[in-house]
Amino acid sequence: MVLSLASYLAISFCYVLVQYLKRRLPFGLRQPFILNLVFNAAYTPIQFGLKNNLLASVDILLVLGTLIWPGRLRHH
């Protein structure tokens, strides 16, 4: 069975949420996942609705930042 990218995002978000509710993760590690979902959801309307490549590029950098952020928090 092949899952879409949105499915993987939803599964990872649910996993992080469950870990947070069980008090295994601090809030600081949950926040980047929430922002990642928001930025990923915003990409399609920005790129294909507004057709604004500059704003879409900023959105991609924000998504990248949310991917790097948890790793930086985890190692400090």
The pTM of the full predicted model, rounded to 2 decimals, is 0.75
Tokens of 75: 């190692």
What is the greatest pairwise CA distance in the chain? 42
Tokens of 60: 């991609």
Give residue 24's domain range.
5-74
Alpha-helix runs per DSSP H in the chain? 5-21, 27-44, 53-74
pLDDT tens, position by position, 25-74 = 887 788 888 899 899 999 999 999 999 999 999 999 999 999 898 877 76
State how far the Cα of 55 lies from the Cα of 23, in Å rounded to an integer.
36
How many domains does the chain fold into? 1
Q: Is 36 exposed, middle or buried (0-12, 13-18, 19+ CB in 10 A)?
A: buried
Mean pLDDT computed over 7-35: 85
